[in-house]
Amino acid sequence: MVGNVLTAGALLAYGTPEKCADELPNILSGGRVWCQLFSEPDAGSDLASLTTRAEPDGDRWIVNGQKVWCSNGRVADRAILLARTVPGATPHRGISFFLVDTSSAGVEMWPLRQMNGGTEFDEVFLNNVELPSNALLGPAGMGWTVAMSALTNERGYIGAAGIAFQRRLDAMLTQGGELDALGRQRVADLWIRGSSLKVMGERQGPVASVLASIAKLGTTELMFDTAAARVESAGADALLAGPEAAGLLSAPGARIAGGTSQIQRNIIGERILGLPKEPKPTK
């Protein structure tokens, strides 16, 4: 996803012809795997408060900082990175978007253990990492704009998972006869929500927009409720081990990744429904 959806989308919108020619064929073939270095220990939902710095030094940049929750970092060949290049600028202004070779000296990745037993994530330390001048994507200081287009694409992609998810719901419907009346009602409710999201995704098509927030929110909340319904119908023993328990322990992650459900609700409220903006206590 980070290669095909976030990076390729950003390259097509902001990359030079040379950069596109170098990276896009490798993304399409899967020859280079990409990861995303956006989140930091103190910058998740409030991504604009990130503090990783990239300082110009002749014809290169020197990067220092710490990132976290980097999915598949250890297997990635390349990373998209957000770093602050204009110290003191207003938070959204001084950020730049870089393409990084993860084998560069000074890039260290350490696995993080999750509650589902996996180690899908890494925390990443960047110590005096040297980047060539052409590692910059888009103008210096305008990385926020590049990142927002990439993150909108990411939400659209996660939301489109509703189309594949419908097949799983169809499979649940076929087991409806084994459930009691309440269980059947729950499965029917999930199926109706899934069908609505699928139709909405089809109507939206492949164009990324703020509507992606509705699809992302709807799909990941549905996945969470489906994982809980599976455990309930499988009985208490299913909580100890097996696919139902694994699904339940993994389900909260999807509500957080790519912007939490609360953040999607803020976007829907402010940018689609036109509700007043949330208060900013720091202002």
Ligand X SMILES: Cc1cc2nc3c(=O)[nH]c(=O)nc-3n(C[C@H](O)[C@H](O)[C@H](O)COP(=O)(O)OP(=O)(O)OC[C@H]3O[C@@H](n4cnc5c(N)ncnc54)[C@H](O)[C@@H]3O)c2cc1C
- DSSP assignment letter at 189: H
Binding pattern to ligand X, positions 71-110, x when CB under 6 A?
Answer: x---------------------------------------
Contacts of 199-205 spanning 24+ positions with Cβ under 8 A: 201/159, 201/160, 201/162, 201/163, 202/163, 204/156
Determine, following the binding rule CB under 6 A, whether residue 264 of this chain makes contact with ligand X: no
Using DSSP's 3-state secondary structure scheme, residue 163 falls into helix
Q: Considering the complex, state which of residue 4 and residue 195 has its C-beta at the smaller distance from ligand X.
A: 4
Determine, following the binding rule CB under 6 A, whether residue 175 of this chain makes contact with ligand X: no
Q: Considering the complex, state which of residue 109 and residue 142 has its C-beta at the smaller distance from ligand X.
A: 109
Give me the catalytic one of 23, 123, 154, 244: 154
Q: Considering the complex, state which of residue 22 and residue 120 has its C-beta at the smaller distance from ligand X.
A: 120
Q: Which stretch binds ligand X (CB under 6 A): 34-42, 98-106, 127-135, 228-236?
A: 34-42
Q: Name residues contacting ligand X, limited to 44-73 (CB under 6 A).
A: 44-45, 69-71
Interatomic CA distance for residues 261 and 227, integer angstroms? 17
Which of 4, 66, 145, 266 is the binder for ligand X (CB under 6 A)?
A: 266
Interatomic CA distance for residues 188 and 197, integer angstroms? 14
Which of 179, 228, 256, 268 is the binder for ligand X (CB under 6 A)?
A: 256
User: What single string gives the DSSP state of each residue in 56-103?
Assistant: EETTEEEEEEEEEEEETGGG-SEEEEEEE-STTS-TTTSEEEEEEETT
Query: Rounded to the nearest whole angstrom, what is the least distance from the CB of residue 114 to ligand X in the complex?
Result: 8
- DSSP assignment letter at 276: P
Using DSSP's 3-state secondary structure scheme, residue 46 falls into coil
Which of 260, 269, 270, 271 is the binder for ligand X (CB under 6 A)?
A: 260
154 is a catalytic site residue: yes
Residue whose token pair is 């989140």: 39
Within 8 A by CB and 6+ apart from 152, the residues are: 208, 209, 210, 212
**Residue of this chain nearest to ligand X (CB atom):** 44
Query: Rounded to the nearest whole angstrom, what is the least distance from the CB of residue 24 to ligand X in the complex?
Result: 21
Q: Catalogue the active-site residues.
A: 154
The site for ligand X (CB under 6 A) is made up of 35-39, 44-45, 69-71, 253, 256-257, 259-260, 262-263, 266, 278
